[in-house]
Amino acid sequence: VGSYRDISHESLALFRLLEPHIEILVLGTGDRVERLHPAVLKQMRDCGIAVEVQDTPNACATFNFLTSEKRVAAAGLIPP
């Protein structure tokens, strides 16, 4: 994934395969928050995974907070 435009159902397949099953996926889209295609977000919700999209610095902070609360989370981060 080179940019937020490359985020697709296929590029997120790894997150659907992780064990234990993740509750929330935090996506960092670089310098700013970018909108993902609604179908991609719906497909992840249908798999039982909530998706939080933020700029990458805030996504890192959110991921750290979630894991400190012992939540089963994963992050996909595009460098700013």
68-77: average pLDDT: 98
pLDDT score for 78: 97
pTM flag (> 0.85): yes
34-58 pLDDT, tens digit per residue, is 999 999 999 999 999 999 999 999 9
Question: What is the token pair recorded at 54?
Answer: 């933020």
Please choose, from the candidates 2, 22, 6, the residue with its C-alpha nearest in 3D space to the C-alpha of residue 14. Answer: 22
Q: Domain locations in the chain? A: 4-77
2-21 pLDDT, tens digit per residue, is 999 999 999 999 999 999 99
pLDDT score for 50: 98
pLDDT score for 20: 95
Question: What is the token pair recorded at 52?
Answer: 């939080």
Class of domain 4-77: alpha beta
